[in-house]
Amino acid sequence: MLSLLKHLPQSLIKISAVTTFFSAACMSHAQTSHTELSSEQATPKPPETISVLPLEDLRVFTRAFELIRTSYIDEIDDRTLLEYAIKGMLDELDPHSSYLNKNSYDDLKKLTSGEFGGLGVEIGTQNGFIKIISPIDDTPAQKAGIKAGDLVIKIDGSPIKNNNIGKAIEKMRGDVGTKITLTITREGVKNPFDVDIVRDIIKVRSVRSDVIDQHFGYFRISQFQVNTGKDLKNEIEKIRAINTDLHGVILDLRNNPGGVLMASIEVADVFINEDLIVYTEGRIKEANNQFFATPGEQFSGIPIVVLINGGSASASEIVAGALQDHKRAIILGEQSFGKGSVQKSIEITPERAIKITTSRYFTPLGRSIQAEGIQPDIVVEPAQIIPLEVQKRITEADLSGHLTNNKTSGNDSSLQTIIENNATLQRDNQLYEAVNILRGLHLYNRSHQAHTQH
């Protein structure tokens, strides 16, 4: 091989050295990190075997490289061209592998910590366009009406198709307070339309909680960050301080694009007792892992409903799939996104990295979610709940001389009352159905226990 290098162009020798270093960096980092988005620095070390490209293929690459260097209309330095080459390789692998320059790498590290600048969307690519996987809660994108599944075809009037997707994504970043116009195509909408969004600092609050109808704990996870598991436990303590007599729990993972793999493990561990949560399989030994719950669960004996939709991806699907396989929760809503792969960010310089897919994950029963998604146990499409006006009916209370009721039940918690008094449930039919199911399960369990005692 060394003798062959003497006859190759100098630029090819440089490229071969870079490729060897790049391969070593990928191998060594895969042995040190299991988080989905890891920003740890890898110490490159040579892999046991390095595959050698056929000489003719190397000559083709070198010829193309030299032609671009010497013939392109503008002069481009070798380092930039090599970065383009790396980026091109990654862009062709899958929608989730990518080259991270300084800005992109900084954004990734901020994203996992929960604060970053931009619009507030998780994105992928589809047919040369930017696809919105999910808008993030309480961000400019969500407030502007961006929805999961939207395709961005233009940015500030410039078409994206067949152009550099990476540059288009970088264009979405900008100074806080500046406006950007996205041209969107949406399923069910005939023509493309423009959405104006003002960039802002995105501070993602990973977990929110509430109590619905006095006895149902509601936990919303918008994104899986490094501290999401800890944040969820803190929110559970807050809810239990309000009401210790919970009849059911709702875990809302809708429009949650995923995030840190270990955070999803920690969240699933809250609801599962000593069972397999997820396992991963990849080409290298270090990519094959199993993750188990620890003893004890937070809501033993309390029914759980998990809400998902087309914006629920990756780590969200790990949690929903684990609870579904263990029959620990009813999954309600729509089919999830179907991102069943794990990415690792691999630092190749202090300011640059690659994000590369290293493994697929599987639910405890061996289901791969990749391009399939989680199928809900109960399908509920989004709809608006509008109480119908009905003509006043004559009841016993309307009859002259009716007997009075000397006792009052003091129970005014019918579902109709909930809808009328709770604007959130009236707007959100999927959440309403989750409450409906939990109320039914509680009533059934209570009557079953009473029957058993007699």
Is 127 found in the same domain as 184?
A: yes
What pLDDT is recorded for position 15? 39
Of 151, 168, 203, the last residue of a domain is: 203
Is 156 found in the same domain as 71?
A: no
pLDDT tens-digit readout, 404-429: 776 654 444 445 545 444 666 778 99
What pLDDT is recorded for position 453? 65
Is 446 found in the same domain as 388?
A: yes
Q: pLDDT grade, residue 67 (50/70/90)? A: very high
What pLDDT is recorded for position 23? 30
What pLDDT is recorded for position 2? 36
Please compute the mean of the pLDDT values over residues 169-193 and round it to a whole number.
89
| Structural domains of the chain, count | 3
Is 229 found in the same domain as 211?
A: yes
Which CATH number characterizes residue 152's domain? 2.30.42.10
What pLDDT is recorded for position 322? 98
What pLDDT is recorded for position 294? 95
Please compute the mean of the pLDDT values over residues 333-362 and round it to a whole number.
93
Of 203, 230, 255, the last residue of a domain is: 203
Q: Are 376 and 310 in contact (CB under 8 A)?
A: no
- Sign, CA dihedral 157-161-164-167, equals positive
pLDDT tens-digit readout, 226-250: 999 999 999 999 999 988 899 999 9
Does residue 69 lie within any of the structural domains? yes
Is 298 found in the same domain as 424?
A: yes
Q: Which residue among 107, 150, 264, 339 is the active-site one?
A: 339
Is 194 found in the same domain as 297?
A: no
Ramachandran sector of residue 170 (left: φ over 0; alpha: ψ -120 to 50; beta: rest) = alpha
Does residue 337 lie within any of the structural domains? yes
Does residue 27 lie within any of the structural domains? yes
Does 402 or 358 have the greater pLDDT score? Answer: 358
Please compute the mean of the pLDDT values over residues 426-438 and round it to a whole number.
92
What pLDDT is recorded for position 384? 77
What pLDDT is recorded for position 118? 83
CA–CA gap between residue 134 and residue 23 (Å, rounded): 32
Q: Which residue among 137, 150, 325, 428 is the active-site one?
A: 325
Q: pLDDT grade, residue 162 (50/70/90)? A: low
Does residue 2 lie within any of the structural domains? no
CA–CA gap between residue 13 and residue 5 (Å, rounded): 7
What pLDDT is recorded for position 171? 81
Q: pLDDT grade, residue 306 (50/70/90)? A: very high
Is 407 catalytic? The answer is no
Q: How many CA atoms lie within 13 A of 290 on its CB side?
A: 9
Is 152 found in the same domain as 54?
A: no
Q: Are 176 and 167 in contact (CB under 8 A)?
A: no
Q: How far is CA 8 from CA 16, 61, 258, in A?
A: 11, 12, 46
Q: Which residue among 314, 316, 336, 359 is the active-site one?
A: 314
Domain that holds residue 291: 205-345+357-395+413-454
Is 383 found in the same domain as 242?
A: yes
What pLDDT is recorded for position 454? 58
Is 249 found in the same domain as 166?
A: no
Is the confidence at residue 39, as pLDDT, over 90? no
Is 325 catalytic? The answer is yes
